[in-house]
Structure 1
Amino acid sequence: MKFNSKLWSPVTASMLFLSLSCSTDKKSEEEVKTTFTGEKNEIKLVTLDPGHFHAHLVKKSMYEQVDPKVHVYAKDGPELQAYLAAIESYNTRSDNPTSWQLEVYKGDDFLNRMIKEKKGNVMVTAGNNRDKTANIKSAVEAGFHVLADKPMAIDVNGFEVLKEAFDLAAQNDVLLFDIMTERFEITTMLQKEFSLIPDVFGTLEKGSLENPAVTKESVHHFFKQVSGKPLQRPGWFYDVSQQGNGIVDVTTHLVDLVQWECFPEKIIDYENDIEMINAKRWTTDLTPEQFERSTGLGTYPDYLNAYLDGDVLKVYGNGEINYKINDVHAKVSVIWNYEAPEGSADTHYSIMRGSKANLVIRQDKEENYTPELYIEPVQGVDMKAFEETLKNNVQKLAGKYDGLDVVKTDKANSWRIVIPGKFRTSHEDHFREVTEAYIQYLTEGKLPNWEVPNMIAKYFVTTKALEMAE
């Protein structure tokens, strides 16, 4: 075909440019596939609104299947700069540095820009929770897989939007999944393992409101160290309309563990299997000096005025939920203090009450603030026979957890599981483990059949509890 200069015009040129541009865009979109085979770099991440430090913990490690080029979409500001600085610190560390390459878009229209450009196939988000649920829904509607930090919903309205997001994810054949790091804590994993051994645990008790069959309590601190540096939180972290009440935030992990441990791989139907009993919330009070130390902000932002009593900031970070799941009484609670006393840290307490023994996780001063699992037979059990049975089963589990052992404690009728150090990964390591599990699900093209209904059940419990507490 000969080129005819007489037919060439600015309009023709514009049409040709538009045609080439559309063709290029189409090709680019076709190259960003949403099904995976395990190939190197086939998962292409986009990070949306990385306002929480969990966003960068996902990238503390590299993954063979994940392209090192990551597209970031966010408003400019201190949270974005903190995220970029954290990634740079991982890239430049002397021990096993990462090699992430970030392409950053800064603007108020960051969500629309991400959807329009669609430069990736998996969205990671961990930031302000006020808009997170709607952002997740928009992302799955646009065909992105989504790995989201908890909580994915912070109130009952958000819960309804989240259910819609799961419906859209199913329609578009993409996987929506939240980051449940506590499933990878070794004491929790072993608590679950022993609960599945009838000779040791017996069967799970039903419990009562006054003495639940399952109790999980978590104590956290606003001022802490992350990756060896003091954590600076954004001001909105203390606004429960943006971050969420404590009763819908950290309790997400606890409610998840109740389901995951007590009813492993069982589908929970929140309308039939959950009975809410009561819930309450209360505040942690911060002085202006504590707020400034935690955030770097010299004054309270205007959006916190509603939570001020004089110059004291009252944050609804604490909460307790009592409910029944498949007729089993469960209690979860979270407490936020400002700062841990010298030498202490965040703590976790958990008990599963069985007909033969209780499985108890403690993480207090006596444990040097390291979680430990204790097995404590109930009254009436033959202690000598129980000890022999326990040791035999620990030996069997050592085939899966090499080096696992058990010792008698100084307390009457209490044994501690000796956990080899190689199984004690940190909270920060758990983000890598969650991401690796999610990558496996992406490669398989599906989540386990119980994950989605159980995520929905989990967020029903937390958001309904907030409604009850308010």
Structure 2
Amino acid sequence: MLHPPVRMMLLDPGHFHAALLLNYHRDAIHPRLFCYAPVGPDLLDWMQHLTRFNTRSLHPTRWQLDVRASDSFEDRFFRELPGRAAILAGRNHRKLSRMRRCVESAVHVIADKPWAIAPEQLPEIEAMLHEARLREMQVFDAMTERWAAPNQLLRTLLADRTLFGMLQPGTVDLPAIRLASMHALHKYVAGRPQIRPVSFFHPDEHGEPLADVGTHLADLAMWIAFPDQTFHFRSDLTILRAGRDRLPLRLPQWQRLTGFSQYPNELADWIISDVLHWPSRNWVDFTLKGHHIRIDAGWEEHLPNGDWTTAEFRGSRCWIALKNDPPPISSPVVILSPNDPAEFETIRALLVDRLSDWDDRYPNLSLKIQDNRFEIRISESQLVPHEQLFGRVMAQFLQHVQTNKPLPAWEYPNLLTKYAITTQGVARSRESESPPPE
């Protein structure tokens, strides 16, 4: 059945992810994009991204930008509503109220993380999701990392009980699951240096790292290790301990990252001896239905080998981890280590069979034995650049919008649990300025 293309609107794009969701042309989206925003650098940045997408030599897009900029852009957006779906990214402290208004106006929403940066916002998410169900509206959290090949392979490995066994409960000092990620403030996006908006550095406006990039880690903990299981944060989640660290950013660094010559007045509380001491890292230990989990998320000014993520899962038969090769390779490798050395050959035979069976899903996986453990490498052709993952999330969103297919029953309860982990973790971390335990 053919569906008419979706007319897409953008409301105050304050993060470059609003552009990456439109990185590729799709027949399911009408080429005319309606953007409502105040005149300023963030709007200009979004327009420049879309212009580059339109004019690149390889797979150019054909977007027609209908920009409706004014001081009263938000009122105008909800008064005119020329489309049936909206993209929201950035402006994290205002995002949730805007999403709620979209749902109440019968507008489908795909929103970049995070939806919440403080625990008191959880009831608002709950009310919005209830409204979305009643109105049969799609509300999508852009969880791009679910589409990354290493994470999909981890999910498949952990679901194989003959290989992994059962996830162990773990302890606070030896968690069953550990997920960590570090991200570079200075990076290139679509071939150009990324300028950070001032709001990015305001903890109460953009959110601290755990509430921002840590959202992916909280999501992956459930999605990888507990596929299709439902969690309810009020009964299944217990926050145990947390902490945070700060990154000193001197004025020359600030100028390079933001393009602004001085620190803004709104960050005065974080400036000590003329240096911005920015909350750059949070970690939290918690349990989900009795399983101990630790997530750790942060930012550095530079990461020579790019952003990285590591993961560990402790099963009754094997320990499975995601690591990164040392430079200059720096590609992800999945490690599997049997708990009982006597089972090494049995596990090896199982792995050989599984990799053969999974060749259609994960083509050209390679298996290597190193230091009494197995290393599984994903072929370069399957390691999709992060920017391309946004297109896969958008394609999924459009499919649900056009077919009116509801999300799985576990999706919204786990979404609330995810934001309970991140926001309550940040709140607890403010009580302890400390790095994570080893």
Secondary structure at 1:373 match in 2:
strand
Q: Does 1:417 align with 2:376?
A: yes
Q: Does 1:273 align with 2:236?
A: yes
Q: Does 1:180 align with 2:161?
A: no
Which residue of 368, 371, 384 maps to 2:329? 368
Q: Contact 1:279–1:320 at 8 Å: present in 2 too?
A: yes
The TM-score normalised by the length of structure 1 is 0.89
Which residue of 262, 267, 280 maps to 1:317? 280
Which residue of 335, 358, 371 maps to 2:319? 358
Identify the residue that residue 308 of structure 2 maps to in structure 1.
347
Deviations 1:297-332 (A, max 9, x none): 011111111211122111112100111112111110
Cα distance in 2 between the residues matched to 1:45 and 1:356: 48
The Cα of 1:404 is off from its aligned counterpart by: 2.4
Secondary structure at 1:104 match in 2:
strand
Identify the residue that residue 387 of structure 1 maps to in structure 2.
348
Structure with larger Rg: 1
Map of 1:44-443 to 2, 5 A cutoff? 44-341=7-304, 344-365=305-326, 368-409=329-370, 412-443=371-402
- Structure with the bigger RCO (C-alpha within 8 Å, sep 6+) is 2
Q: 1:184 to 1:307 in 2, by over 3 A?
A: same
When the two chains are superposed, the root-mean-square deviation of aligned CA atoms in Å is: 1.4
> Quick check: 371-380 or 419-428, which moved more?
371-380
Cα distance in 1 between the residues matched to 2:26 and 2:372: 45
Cα distance in 1 between the residues matched to 2:298 and 2:66: 38
> Quick check: 258-267 or 209-218, which moved more?
258-267
Deviations 1:104-128 (A, max 9, x none): 1112322221111011111101122
The residue type paired with residue 417 of structure 2 is A
Q: 1:243 to 1:178 in 2, by over 3 A?
A: same
The Cα of 1:232 is off from its aligned counterpart by: 0.6
The Cα of 1:40 is off from its aligned counterpart by: 4.2
Aligned residues: 429
Identify the residue that residue 3 of structure 1 maps to in structure 2.
none
Secondary structure at 2:29 match in 1:
coil
The residue type paired with residue 98 of structure 2 is N
The residue type paired with residue 124 of structure 2 is V
Q: Contact 1:214–1:258 at 8 Å: present in 2 too?
A: yes
The Cα of 1:364 is off from its aligned counterpart by: 4.8
In structure 1, list runs of 5 or more residues that go unmatched: 1-36
The residue type paired with residue 427 of structure 1 is H
In structure 2, list runs of 5 or more residues that go unmatched: 431-438
Cα distance in 2 between the residues matched to 1:367 and 1:395: 29
Secondary structure at 1:131 match in 2:
helix
Cα distance in 2 between the residues matched to 1:334 and 1:346: 11
Q: Contact 2:332–2:377 at 8 Å: present in 1 too?
A: no
Q: Contact 2:86–2:108 at 8 Å: present in 1 too?
A: yes
Cα distance in 1 between the residues matched to 2:334 and 2:363: 17
The Cα of 1:158 is off from its aligned counterpart by: 2.2
> Quick check: 131-140 or 143-152, which moved more?
131-140
Cα distance in 2 between the residues matched to 1:208 and 1:94: 53
The TM-score normalised by the length of structure 2 is 0.95
| Identical positions, percent | 29
Q: 1:444 to 1:228 in 2, by over 3 A?
A: same
Q: Contact 1:347–1:364 at 8 Å: present in 2 too?
A: no
Deviations 1:138-159 (A, max 9, x none): 1111111110000001102222
The residue type paired with residue 419 of structure 1 is I
Cα distance in 1 between the residues matched to 2:187 and 2:361: 34
Q: Contact 1:356–1:381 at 8 Å: present in 2 too?
A: no
The residue type paired with residue 371 of structure 1 is P
Q: Which runs of 4+ in 1 moved over 6 A?
A: none
The Cα of 1:231 is off from its aligned counterpart by: 0.5
Q: 1:395 to 1:367 in 2, by over 3 A?
A: farther
